[in-house]
Amino acid sequence: MPGRRLRPSLRLLGATAAIALIAVPSFAQTPMDDPLDARDAKRVDRMEKVVRELRDIVFKAQKTGAPVVVQPADTDARIAEQASRIADLEQTLTRLNGSLDAATHELDQTKRDNGALKAQLKALSDRLTADEQKAADAFAAAAQAGPPPPPEPPPQAADPKAAAADAFAKARQLMLSGDYDAAESAFSAYVTSYPDTPRTSEARYWWGKTLMVRGDSVKAAGAFIGAIRGWPQTAWAPDAVVELSRALTALKKPADACQTLGELERKYPKAPASVKTRAAVVRTQAKCG
């Protein structure tokens, strides 16, 4: 608390000092019937302290004549202590307010999340209900419609010979039209589907021709070997031998190519001139002796 300024006159100060000097000893030396308890003793000590401070003020004013500022140390200390406690309480309250704000924010976020989850659950429930209703409607419709009609009998199998002839004719037509990719697939399917028909060997021959056009010498050589197995006496057989020799030459097997060309002279001595001319070209490419 602020200090008090005293400007007493000399006469007033003298009277006050006299009263103080007389009162203090009288108060201190008065005998007491009962001993003081701890609380009363403290009160007496505080009163004596105040009297001493007043006496000092009076003496100082008499000597100097200057105003005196009184600063009660005990009151200032208590004020400072209370101010410190108030500051601590304010900090604690600030922390509590911050924690409360954070908890409130988390609670609001949780409420929003719960609301979104409830909306999703409701949407899923509605979809499930709709699906169940659709399934029930479909079941009811099926029950009203009665049992399904019996399956149609499978179509009767076509004549194998006629089917084979038709497949061969389609494959040959594809080759004549220049569609070698489709012709290769058609002849390959024919050989797989009809391995024992009278035209299977010829199909292998034409299959080998389409493979040579596509540059697949490995598969072509296998197709030609299957075509001339048994050395058939057909119009296409001598050309199949030449084509086999050409495939072997492309595969870097000139000895096998030359041996195959030697069989051409023995097995097909009456081969057409065009076939023999092509055989001579292959013989030169294979460097036959």
Give the CATH number, domain containing residue 247. Answer: 1.25.40.10
Same domain flag for 175 and 264: yes
So what's the pLDDT on residue 35?
Answer: 56
CA angle 191, 192, 193 (to 5 degrees): 95
- Which structural domain, as residue segments, surrounds residue 112? 75-134
Model pTM above 0.85: no
Domain for residue 225, yes or no?
yes
Q: Choose the final residue of a domain: 50, 71, 92.
A: 71
So what's the pLDDT on residue 209?
Answer: 95
So what's the pLDDT on residue 34?
Answer: 52
Domain for residue 188, yes or no?
yes
Question: Along the 289 residues of the chain, how does pLDDT read in single tens digits?
Answer: 444 444 444 344 444 444 444 444 444 444 555 555 777 777 888 888 878 877 877 777 777 776 655 555 456 667 777 788 888 888 888 888 888 888 788 888 878 877 876 787 677 667 767 766 776 666 556 545 545 555 554 444 467 889 999 999 999 999 999 999 999 999 999 999 999 999 999 999 999 999 999 899 999 999 999 999 999 999 999 999 999 999 999 999 999 999 999 999 899 999 999 999 999 999 999 999 7
So what's the pLDDT on residue 119?
Answer: 80
Domain for residue 212, yes or no?
yes
Same domain flag for 189 and 235: yes
Domain count, the chain: 3
Same domain flag for 189 and 107: no
So what's the pLDDT on residue 10?
Answer: 39
So what's the pLDDT on residue 9?
Answer: 43
So what's the pLDDT on residue 145?
Answer: 53
Specify whether the CB–CB gap between 257 and 248 falls below 8 A. yes
Same domain flag for 103 and 63: no
So what's the pLDDT on residue 104?
Answer: 82
* Helices (H) then strands (E): counts for the chain: 10, 2
Domain for residue 21, yes or no?
yes
Same domain flag for 174 and 280: yes
Q: In this structure, what token pair is assigned to residue 142?
A: 């099926």
Burial label, 165 (beta-carbon count in 10 A; 0-12, 13-18, 19+): middle
Q: In this structure, what token pair is assigned to residue 101?
A: 């704000």
Same domain flag for 29 and 128: no
So what's the pLDDT on residue 87?
Answer: 85
Residue 171 backbone phi and psi in degrees, to 5: -65, -40
- The CB density around residue 150, as the number of other CB atoms within 10 Å, is 6
CA nearest to 180, candidates 220, 207, 145: 207
Same domain flag for 280 and 238: yes
Domain for residue 92, yes or no?
yes
Strand partners, 16: none
